[in-house]
Amino acid sequence: MLAPAPGEVFLDGTTGAGGHAAEIAARIGAEGQLICADADPAMLEVAAGRLSAFPWARLVRSDFAELPALREAAGGRGFDGILLDLGISSLQLEDPARGFSFREEGPLDMRRDPEGGGPTAGEILRDARERELADLFYRFGEERFSRRIARAVVERRRKAPIRTTADLSGIVAGAIPRKAWPRDIHPATRVFQALRIAVNRELDSLASFLESVPEHLSPGGRVAVISFHSLEDRLVKTEFRRHAGRAGGGPATLELLTRKPVVPSEREVGENPRARSAKLRAARRTG
Ligand SMILES: C[S@@+](CC[C@H](N)C(=O)[O-])C[C@H]1O[C@@H](n2cnc3c(N)ncnc32)[C@H](O)[C@@H]1O
């Protein structure tokens, strides 16, 4: 759907370990330009190794919502293609020091940019009111037991600080009745997701990106977004439709390339279980 062609100008807004970026770089070739953005400096270091064979790929530490600056970095022309592959990479997830994983014991940090100023997950759990925590777990985690979990957090923090990912997993697992534990995911998955989204203001970045993305595409330019939960996918779907002139608003600036999201085959999920919730939507800038 992105169909990178020789000489084109591309943005990978979520470079991560550089897997997609390397594929794009190879297709656009030395005449092309690729801006590789990531908010996490540790991921840019990993990507730098993988992309060293492609000097036309430029690494930029940035939120993908900073489209005007990213476009400037590419010389000011619109992009022929933009990719977002949302969320966190397996490398971030598996590093206990980052605090993203309920499987590894680590500090409750979860900031994508460790030098970013915002509160960490631990600070939110320490400072937010019970009601705020319940809303956060419900809204960003779609967690049915949000109130019970919020109550358990507040009860526990009165006795002792919640310091580690293991502390939090234990509290969440204890607050959800055993018979209601989800079958295919860890009971703390949704709460960890909710905190990660809140700490990094993930939906704000995505909404801001989606609002202006057509302006930063050249005529015929493509945008593709891979999302991993329904809140993200809903935003992508409604914003793409709005730009395609289907839900009111001005003239159409995008044409949908996907009516329904593209999802992985059973075989792909078998080979890579983390792909199971992925949804891909793509659109093309109108002439
Ligand atoms: C799922 S990984 C991408 C993996 C990548 N496609 C690859 O092939 O290795 C998501 C990456 O996007 C980054 N990221 C997520 N949200 C971001 C944002 N708003 N701005 C910049 N980078 C972001 C994360 O730090 C992470 O490295």
Count of residues in the chain: 287
Q: What's the domain count of the chain?
A: 2
Residue to mutate, 14, 20, 211, ligand 1, most ligand atoms under 8 Å from C-beta: 14
Q: Which of residues 161, 184, 199 is at a domain's end?
A: 199
User: In this model, does residue 117 exceed pLDDT 80?
Assistant: no
pLDDT tens digit sequence for 18-59: 999 999 999 999 999 999 999 999 999 999 999 999 999 999
Could you tell me if 244 and 252 are in contact, meaning their C-beta atoms sit under 8 angstroms apart? yes
Residues 192 and 117 in one domain: yes
What end-to-end distance do the CA atoms of the chain give, in Å?
17
Q: Is 66 a member of any domain?
A: yes
Residues 267 and 141 in one domain: no
Token pair 């992925």 in the structure block, residue: 278
Q: Counting beta carbons within 10 angstroms of the beta carbon of residue 168, is it exposed (0 to 12), middle (13 to 18) or buried (19 or more)?
A: buried
**What's residue 116's pLDDT?**
77
Could you tell me if 205 and 267 are in contact, meaning their C-beta atoms sit under 8 angstroms apart? no
User: Does ligand 1 lie within 6 Å of residue 38's CB atom?
Assistant: yes
pLDDT confidence bin for 278, thresholds 50/70/90: very high
> Above pLDDT 90, what percent of the chain?
88
Q: Which residue has the higher pLDDT, 183 or 148?
A: 148
pLDDT confidence bin for 246, thresholds 50/70/90: low
User: Model's pTM, two decimal places?
Assistant: 0.94
Q: What is the mean pLDDT of the chain?
A: 95
pLDDT confidence bin for 247, thresholds 50/70/90: low
Domain extent for 237: 9-90+202-285
User: Does ligand 1 lie within 6 Å of residue 116's CB atom?
Assistant: no
**What's residue 249's pLDDT?**
61
User: Does ligand 1 lie within 6 Å of residue 98's CB atom?
Assistant: no
Q: Which of residues 199, 221, 246 is at a domain's end?
A: 199
pLDDT tens digit sequence for 174-219: 999 999 898 888 899 999 999 999 999 999 999 999 999 999 999 9
What distance in Å separates the CA atoms of residue 136 and residue 36, rounded to the nearest whole number? 31
Residue to mutate, 15, 36, 227, ligand 1, most ligand atoms under 8 Å from C-beta: 15
* Nearest ligand 1 atom, CA 209: 19
- Helix then strand then coil, in percent of the chain rounded to 5, is 45, 15, 40
Q: Which of residues 163, 182, 199 is at a domain's end?
A: 199
User: Does ligand 1 lie within 6 Å of residue 37's CB atom?
Assistant: yes
Determine how many CB atoms are found less than 10 A away from the CB of residue 11.
Answer: 31
Q: Is 2 a member of any domain?
A: no
Per residue in 233-260, is it b (16+ CB within 10 Å) or e — as a string?
Answer: bebbbebbbbbbeeeeeeeebbbbbbee
What distance in Å separates the CA atoms of residue 127 and residue 23, rounded to the nearest whole number? 43
Whose Cα sits closest to atom 27 in ligand 1?
A: 16
**What's residue 184's pLDDT?**
80
Q: How far is the CA of 125 from the centre of ligand 1 (A)?
A: 25
CATH number at 216 reads 3.40.50.150
Q: How far is the CA of 34 from the centre of ligand 1 (A)?
A: 15
**What's residue 223's pLDDT?**
98
Best CA proximity match to 240, nearest among 225, 227, 230: 225
Which residues lie below 8 Å from residue 271, measured CB to CB, with a gap of 6+?
Answer: none
Q: Is 64 a member of any domain?
A: yes
**What's residue 182's pLDDT?**
86
User: Does ligand 1 lie within 6 Å of residue 64's CB atom?
Assistant: yes
User: In this model, does residue 64 exceed pLDDT 70?
Assistant: yes
Residues 236 and 187 in one domain: no
Q: How far is the CA of 226 from the centre of ligand 1 (A)?
A: 11
**Angle of CA points 6, 258, 142, to nearest 5°:** 120
Residues 24 and 151 in one domain: no
Whose Cα sits closest to atom 3 in ligand 1?
A: 16
Residues 176 and 250 in one domain: no
Best CA proximity match to 52, nearest among 36, 71, 69: 36
